[in-house]
Every structure is written in C-alpha cells, then in structure tokens.
Structure 1
Amino acid sequence: MPNGSGLNKGNIKGLFPLFAFLITYILVRVISGSFETMPIMVGISIGCLVAFFLNDKNHKISFTKKVTIFCKGGGEETLILMVIIFLLAGAFYSVANSMHAVDSIVNIGLSILPSNIILPGLFVVSCILSFAMGTSMGTVSTLAPIAIGIATKIGVDIPLVAGIVIGGAMFGDNLSFISDTTIAATRTQEVTMKDKFKVNFLMVLPAIIINIALLLLVDVNASAVTEHLDFNLLNILPYAIIIVLSLVGMHVIPVMGLGILSGLIIGVMHQDFTILESFKVIHTGMVWMEDMALIAVLVGGMVALMKYLGGIDYLLYHLTKNVKSVRAGEFSIASLVSLLDIATTNNTISIIVSGPIAKNIGNEIGINRSRIAAILDLFSSAFSGLSPFGGQLLVMAGLCSISPIDIIPYVWYCMLMLVFGIFFIIIGKPMPKKVN
C-alpha cells in the first residue's frame, strides 16, 4: 500500500496562510468574547494576504504570478460549480420558506404523531425538516419555539428537547441534497450526491435507530399535546421533487431549478407572492448564500498558493507517512476535518478547506471518494452539533434562554454519529460497489 514516503516532503511554511486564518479567527473571538467579531470571510482574507507575501525558496515568482495562481485556484471548475449550487440552494430555501413549505412540513409531522411518542417524533420531524430545508440553522430557528412549548406541556427539561432538535438539525446538515456541507463534500471529491448519500446514510442509520430508542425510554405526559395544526400537502411538492430527482441521479443544477420553479408556481397560485415579487424572493435567497460562495472561491485561491508553497505536500506527507492502510487514511481525514471544524466552528468551511487535501490522501492511499465525502460530512456535522461555540447551539441556547453547555449532554444523536463513524471506519464498511 503506498504511503507518504513516496511524496515530496513539502514545506511547513506553506501552511502559514492556514495558521494565520485559524489563529486570527480564534484569537479575536477569545479576546472579544463575541462570536460575531471575526467574520469567517475576513479571517480567510487574512490567510490569503499572508499567502501572497510568502515565497518558495527554490522557486521564487512575482506577485503577478501569485495572483494568477490564486485566480486559477479560485476559478477551478469544481469550485465554480459549488458556487452555482450554493446560490441555487439559497434561492430554493427562500422560495420554499415564502410559500410556507417549511410550515407545512413541521405541522404535518407534529399532527400525525401519536402523543405517546412525542419526543422521538420531535426528533423525526427535526430530521425531515432539516433534510428538506438543507439548513441546520433554519431547522433550529423554526422548531425551537415548538420544542419549548412541548417541553412546557409535557414537563421535561428544556435542554432535552433542545438537544433533540439540534440532533435532528445535524441529520439534515449531514445528509440533505441541498445542504451546503453535502454540496461541499461531493464537489471537492467529485462524486454524485446519490453515491455519497448511500454510504453516509448507512453509516448514521444505527445512530438514528438508537437515538429514537433512547427517546422512547423518556417518561413524559404527552397527553397534554393536543394542539391542531394546519398544513397543505401541495406545499411540500418542491421538497419531494428535490429528493426524488436527486435519488434517481439527475444532475444537481436541473434538480434545483425544477425545485425552485415548482415552488414559484405554487407560491403564485396560493398568492404568497406575485410573479414580480418572486424575483425578489429568489434574490433574497441568493444573497443569503453569497458569503459562503465567495468564501469557497477565496479558499480555493488560498489552497492553490499553499500548494505552490509546499504546504499541501507537507501536510500530505505527515498525514500519510505512517499510513499503511485505507483505515488509517480514513482516520487521518476524519481527524483533519474534525480539528478544522472545532477550530472554525463551521462544518462547511472545514470541508472546503480539508476536502482537496482529503482527496489527495485518498488518491495516495486508494480510498473510495464516496466514503471520503461521507466521512468529511459526518464528522464535521457531528462536531458542529456538539460545539458550544457553534451557531446551532448558540441560536438554540439564545431562543431557550439557557447555556449552550446545558444542551450538549442531550445531543445524543451527534455523539452516536461519532461512535458509528469511527466504527464503520474500523470495519471498512459500507463500501460502494462502484469504485470512484
């Protein structure tokens, strides 16, 4: 089995841009005591600036040449496709939200649940909603008031229902076809969403089952939940289109386009917005994703300069020099994306940064790229759901008026994700039949 011994040893100086980003990002947050002080785009820009002023001692080039390297890296085909998908995903979410598809999904789930399984049901609704929406933050914001109301009525601790919603939110963040993490993981590894989903779902399925079983054991007075909730089945059609067409293997761009179009038609039919207003709805959603799209381009340029400086070779060499098996390579990838997620508290950014490195490790060791995509998404999403500094826990804690630390012990699903992620790396399963 090939390992790092066959690689160029590279130069640690090539990692300075990444160090500059991480150190600045974390330090400013710690000093200020605020998680709003250092926007990720500014942190990435600082890393890019450092990269422009470094040189490979053996191959010094002009600043103009560095700009060319940066632009080629940022304009790489996979990254530009990722940018387009980000914008389409934002447009879809805005359209679906405006035509009340989100409300319908939540209310359908809560209306059909038997009262004696309200807590497992809340988890399932969170999973369905986050899978349909593709955003954990949107799921948390939507379900937090409902979760608080349920906790009050059935007499359970608010941190428990908060942890249930966080777990369900990270389910969708990890698996949804329109989640930015899925987009990043599949694009950086150049695999289809369908192939990644098959591997990823089988890896988390035991976690889903055990989490539901544990929630069934919680004693509650669910008879108090009797509220009638309205919904419209037609409103969930755009989500059904996205899920079905993605599963049959259609390219993501027409899938997103058809989802947006169906949402617009239903929204106009129900007079949620006019045809002219629909353009603003689409634009609003695209604006929501502009930061993420631009960050992807900046990271692509920074990684290209890091590669020129020898940083990527250095990282690959030290991550794989003692690696003699696929299992060890997968653990290296899981460790890399987990550490970046803990440092940045953003699972999408951790995937965008580590994705190209993980792909190179996979090529060197011979790891199936669908498994790499699944591992990147699983571990980054799990740690995002357990980070007291992450946006999901901060938003939930703020809405529930409790500390993020109080919620962590109840985010059982994310803990189980890590357990089974490690388990399936150890046993080398599931393995796609088709090798990428």
Structure 2
Amino acid sequence: MDEKKTKVTAAFYGGALGPWIPVIIMIVGMIIGTVIGGGGLTRFAIITFAALIAGFLLAKDKKNFGEICFSGLKNHMLSILIIAFLMAGVMGQLLRQSGLINALIYVVGELNMSVGLLPLIAFLICAVISTSCGTSTGSAAAVAPLLIPLSAELGCNVGLICGAIIAGAIFGDNLAPISDTTIGSALTQEAAVKDVVRTRLPYSLIAGGLSAVLFVIFGMRMDVNTTIHIGADETNLKALAMLILPILMIVLMKKGLDIVGTLIICNVVGVVLVLALGCIPLGTLLDNEGPIGAGLTGMMGIVLYALLIFQILEILNVSGAFDRLMAGLIKLCKTPRSGEFAGMAMTAVTTICAGGSSPAIIFCGPLVRNVAKNFGIEKTRGANILDGTSCGVSGLLPYGTCIMLCMNFTQGLVPEDFSFLDIIPYSFHSMFLLLLFFFSILTGIGRRFEKESK
C-alpha cells in the first residue's frame, strides 16, 4: 500500500463494512476449507477469486471495477514477489530432484547412533533440508515416510519423532532465503532478503538450539537401547555437491545482489551441476515434471493467491477502508510495543484462519508495514515478527500441512487414540519462536528504528 494517504476513488454498498465483505468472505471460506480438509494455496486462490466477485457485486461503479483490479496488479511489490517465488520454486526442485535429500538421510544412517538420538537426528535432517530447499512441507514429506515407520518399529515415542520432524521443517521455512515465507515477509516490508535473514538468525538459532536440547533430553528418556539403521540409497551421494547452492546464495546476497538476480545465478549454476554430476538427465530436466517445470508450476498456487489478494487489498485501498483501519490501529497503538503486538496478533489470527503461513504473510504484510512505518520501526523487525509469528502458529495448528502429513504416515503404526495432541507438545521450535518474539516485543530487545539503521 502507498505510504501516503490514499485518495478515495471508489464507493461500495454496505457503508463502511462494504469493502470488508470480500475479506470476510475470504477468511470464512479459508476456515471452512481448512476444517473440511480442503486447505492449500490453490483452494485459497479459488476462495479469494469468489471474494473478488463479491467485491464486484458490491461496487457501485461496476463499469470501472476493472481499473481497481488493474491498479492492484500494477503494484511493484507484487511483481517482485511473483518473480522471486517462481525462481525459488525452480531452485527448490533442483535441490530436491538431484537426490540431495536421500544423500543426507543415507549419511546419517551410516553413523550408527543411539536410538535415543533419533528425535535430534530427525530435527537436524529436516532443518538442513528445509533450510537448503526452502520448504517445510517438502522436508516433512521427504523424512516422515522413513523415520515415522522406523520409530514405531523401534518402539520410540512416535509423537516425539513427529514433533521433531515438524520443528526441523519449520526451522528452515522461517529462515531459508528461498522460502516463500522469507521472501514474502521481506518484500512486503520493503526489506532486503539478506538483511532479513541476518537479523532473523539469532531468533532461529536460539529457538533451534533450545529445541535440539529438549529433543536430546526427551529422546534419552525413551526406553530403547539399540542403534539407528535407516534404509536409504547410497547412489545419490554425489548430490551432496548441491549444498553449494545455498552457500552461493548467501555469498551473492552479501555481495549486494538482489533476491531475483541471486536466484537466477543459483538456478543456472544448479542446472550446470545436476547435468555435470549426472544427477538429472537433460530429458528429465526439460520435462514437465522436471525441476524447472515442477518448480514453476509448483508455485502457481501462491502466485495465483498473490495476484488475487492484491486486487482484494486494492478494494480496501481505493475505498478508504484501509486508511480508516490504519487510523484506528494507530489511534489504538500508542507505542511501538503496542504496534508490534498488534501486528503479531493480526498475523497469528490470519494464520489460524488460513491454516498456513504464506497466505497470512501476504495478506497481513501491508498492514504490518504501515504500522511499523508510523512508529519508524526498522523494516527487518516487521518482517521478522511477521514471519516468526506465522511460522510459529502454523507449526502448532492441528490442520497445518506438516502435522497432517505426519498424521498420515502414522496410520496403522500407532494406537487408534493417537492424535495431534500427541504431536503438538513436541513442536518445540514453533513454541520457542512465538515465545521469543513475544518476549522481544515486550522488552524491546532487538527493536531498532529506521533512523538508527542509516
């Protein structure tokens, strides 16, 4: 949204509530879709499309409604988001289809460690995969089919292992430079991804470190005395060379290259590597299901959602509803602390409604940014609160993707009364993220202002 007060150029039926009716329809639709098991970004895009139609029906001047939509699509931030999402999708698929995940699992399996360390191992494997590939769902989907049956066979606490998988997946989703949440939180706050990752690192490492300690403690309390043997294929070991891509990405961003340029270079290097190493044949590389095709199409859900949500936000903008909301929030929030708490609360509620972090970040981003601007709060601070809150909440949702994935792979392996209540108490990383940001806002630790960063 524009930093300056927006001129009201459109009117809607329903008075002050009218422009918000599409938003209400969208949120209610997301809740219903999530409850009935129909969540996901593609479903959310369909629901948001229906909300946009409602906006058209409520517009008093229907002849010029297309101009409102077009104005939303011209948003500079939207253009960067779409390009970054597509590039990140290709890079994530290059890493995953190269065999890197199997290579990492094989290396761990060859270490013959105590079963008491299995929760820690599950956490670390998922943390490395999610940080490298930028996907919590992909990390959980890769590791859960191997480690959940193994933990049940060894007589481990399956809920603890599921919690460790989810915690590791959330770790990278919150921190990875190519994660859609990291990109979305940075760009909606007008911040550089490299600065966001740098300032987010202390929170992630503290939450991750505390989680690791607890996974060791709880793991050693399991009454199992044997070693871990994970059945994984050793033919993918050469794919470990692909770990150079996340390192290259960090180096390029430290050199000052923007997120789009960085991802383009990393994707080119990744394509050359998988061909040179023989990880992916040229035919597969160019196939619809190959890393490029799957990477681009795999991001279509979030791209469609972003395209539609920016049109919904433009309805709030041109009707003056957004300015009235911001005026109310600013009047209510007297201090930077209360402004940050308001941003955290909005993000948490939206994440619960959407059932995931990415939709919440895209929707709440402009709101959080405007509150932060009012108090002069530094850009990365808003991005970190936005991302930390959404990732923290999503890792504790019973209908969250990672928990549902883990529940799926426990079928037939655990007692019938096993439920998400056996998993959520062990989603330590999500808990610590929320506690850290709550404490940070309460005490002001880590809060910086724009004038201090110049």
Please tell me whether residue 130 in structure 1 is matched to residue 130 in structure 2.
Answer: yes
Quick one: distance in 2 between partners of 1:353 and 1:222? 49
* Higher RCO, Cα 8 Å, sep 6+: 1
Q: For residue 317 of structure 2, what is the aligned residue in structure 1?
A: 307
Q: Give the 3-state SS of the residue equivalent to 1:296 in structure 2.
A: helix
1:281-302 per-residue CA deviation (whole Å, 9 max, x = no partner) reads 2112100101211211111111
Quick one: distance in 2 between partners of 1:370 and 1:292? 22
Change (3 A) 1:228 1:407: closer
Is residue 34–residue 399 contact of structure 2 (8 Å, CA) maintained in 1? no
1:248 deviation in Å?
4.3
Q: For residue 275 of structure 2, what is the aligned residue in structure 1?
A: 268
Is residue 25–residue 40 contact of structure 1 (8 Å, CA) maintained in 2? yes
Quick one: distance in 2 between partners of 1:8 and 1:171? 41
Residue type at the aligned position of 2:141: S
Q: For residue 228 of structure 2, what is the aligned residue in structure 1?
A: 225
Unpaired stretches in structure 1, ≥5 consecutive residues: 1-5
Is residue 92–residue 295 contact of structure 2 (8 Å, CA) maintained in 1? yes
Residue type at the aligned position of 1:34: G
Quick one: distance in 1 between partners of 2:345 and 2:113? 41
- The count of aligned residue pairs is 424
Is residue 175–residue 197 contact of structure 2 (8 Å, CA) maintained in 1? yes
* Structure 1 segment 50-199 matched on structure 2, within 5 A: 50-55=54-59, 62-109=61-108, 111=110, 114-115=113-114, 117-152=117-152, 154-199=154-199
Using the TM superposition, name which of 167-176 and 147-156 deviates more.
147-156
Quick one: distance in 1 between partners of 2:280 and 2:212? 39
Change (3 A) 1:99 1:205: closer
Using the TM superposition, name which of 229-238 and 176-185 deviates more.
229-238
After TM superposition, where is structure 1 displaced by more than 6 Å over at least 4 residues in a row? 6-10
Please tell me whether residue 19 in structure 1 is matched to residue 24 in structure 2.
Answer: yes
* Structure 1 segment 307-346 matched on structure 2, within 5 A: 307-346=317-356
Quick one: distance in 2 between partners of 1:261 and 1:25? 37
Q: For residue 210 of structure 1, what is the aligned residue in structure 2?
A: 210
Q: Give the 3-state SS of the residue equivalent to 1:321 in structure 2.
A: helix
Please tell me whether residue 43 in structure 1 is matched to residue 31 in structure 2.
Answer: no
Q: For residue 414 of structure 2, what is the aligned residue in structure 1?
A: none
Quick one: distance in 2 between partners of 1:314 and 1:160? 46
Quick one: distance in 2 between partners of 1:205 and 1:365? 28
Q: For residue 418 of structure 1, what is the aligned residue in structure 2?
A: 434
Quick one: distance in 1 between partners of 2:85 and 2:7? 35
Quick one: distance in 1 between partners of 2:212 and 2:359? 30
Quick one: distance in 2 between partners of 1:314 and 1:262? 48
Q: For residue 12 of structure 2, what is the aligned residue in structure 1?
A: none
Q: Give the 3-state SS of the residue equivalent to 1:386 in structure 2.
A: coil
1:78-128 per-residue CA deviation (whole Å, 9 max, x = no partner) reads 111110111111111222222212322343455458546442232122111
Change (3 A) 1:407 1:356: same
Change (3 A) 1:197 1:29: closer
1:165-214 per-residue CA deviation (whole Å, 9 max, x = no partner) reads 10110111111101111111111111011211122222233222221221
1:226 deviation in Å?
4.1
Is residue 192–residue 249 contact of structure 1 (8 Å, CA) maintained in 2? no
Is residue 112–residue 227 contact of structure 2 (8 Å, CA) maintained in 1? no
Quick one: distance in 2 between partners of 1:257 and 1:430? 32
Quick one: distance in 2 between partners of 1:184 and 1:112? 38
1:368-392 per-residue CA deviation (whole Å, 9 max, x = no partner) reads 1110000110000011110011111
Quick one: distance in 1 between partners of 2:145 and 2:177? 26
Q: For residue 251 of structure 2, what is the aligned residue in structure 1?
A: 244
Using the TM superposition, name which of 155-164 and 19-28 deviates more.
19-28
Residue type at the aligned position of 1:45: F
1:323-363 per-residue CA deviation (whole Å, 9 max, x = no partner) reads 11111100000000110000010210101001011111111
Q: For residue 305 of structure 2, what is the aligned residue in structure 1?
A: 295
Using the TM superposition, name which of 99-108 and 185-194 deviates more.
99-108
Change (3 A) 1:7 1:68: closer
Change (3 A) 1:110 1:315: farther
| CA root-mean-square deviation | 2.6
Change (3 A) 1:228 1:298: closer
Is residue 6–residue 320 contact of structure 2 (8 Å, CA) maintained in 1? no
Change (3 A) 1:226 1:78: same
Please tell me whether residue 234 in structure 1 is matched to residue 252 in structure 2.
Answer: no
2:373 pairs, out of 358, 363, 374, with 363
Unpaired stretches in structure 2, ≥5 consecutive residues: 9-14, 412-417
Change (3 A) 1:86 1:14: same
Change (3 A) 1:228 1:340: closer
Quick one: distance in 2 between partners of 1:239 and 1:74? 31
Change (3 A) 1:24 1:227: closer
Quick one: distance in 2 between partners of 1:431 and 1:325? 12
Q: Give the 3-state SS of the residue equivalent to 2:286 in structure 1.
A: helix
Please tell me whether residue 257 in structure 1 is matched to residue 257 in structure 2.
Answer: no
Q: When the two structures are superposed, what TM-score results if normalisation uses the length of structure 2? A: 0.86
Q: When the two structures are superposed, what TM-score results if normalisation uses the length of structure 1? A: 0.90
Quick one: distance in 2 between partners of 1:150 and 1:244? 38
Q: For residue 3 of structure 1, what is the aligned residue in structure 2?
A: none
